[in-house]
Amino acid sequence: MTSTIEQHTVLPPSATEPDARRELRRLDEFMIATSPAHQAKLVGPDGSEVALPEQVYDVLRDVVKAMSQGFAINVAPLNAVLTTQQAADMLNVSRPTLVKLLESGEIPFEKPGRHRRVLLSDLLDYRARSRAERQGILDELTASASRDGSDDIVDGFVQTR
């Protein structure tokens, strides 16, 4: 038996559901307070138990936290291979910008036919490298400003201490 996984959005409980909102907040507090020393388990309505992989528990914790703060959750499967538009959307850049990153070799891609395809793992690697590079540049600028004293200047005014 196969099932199709489709994208769907789950809304947090509304203000007219105070009990559900309270239970969600209680679950969030529970998940924050208890760091699983052992593998978490899911208990079914009939009392049967199954171990939860760490990745599933982490996702569940993120979902509970977001919904307890009033955010809706969008559940969507991500293919291991993305179109250029899907990849651009994940990076929050335009498709032409993504294509330039592909063509420059910043992100590997495959072109089995007429269209470029990007592996999700390669896209996530690029995003992590890019963030680390930006953080390094920011750290360098901060250190440089501290060394030359320009961190005391804000909007053209010298701060006095």
* Nearest-5° Cα angle at 5, 22 to 93: 85
| pLDDT, position 95 | 96
Domains in the chain: boundaries:
9-75, 81-149
- Predicted TM-score (pTM) of the model is 0.55
Does residue 3 surpass a pLDDT of 80? no
pLDDT digits (tens, 9 = 90+) for 113-157: 999 999 988 999 999 999 999 999 999 988 888 887 766 665 555
pLDDT band with cut points at 50, 70 and 90 for residue 2: very low
Does residue 161 surpass a pLDDT of 60? no
| pLDDT, position 17 | 87
Residue whose tokens read 């990153």 = 101
Q: How far apart are CA 130 and CA 133, in angstroms?
A: 5
pLDDT digits (tens, 9 = 90+) for 73-110: 887 776 788 999 999 999 999 999 999 999 999 999 99
Q: How far apart are CA 154 and CA 151, in angstroms?
A: 7
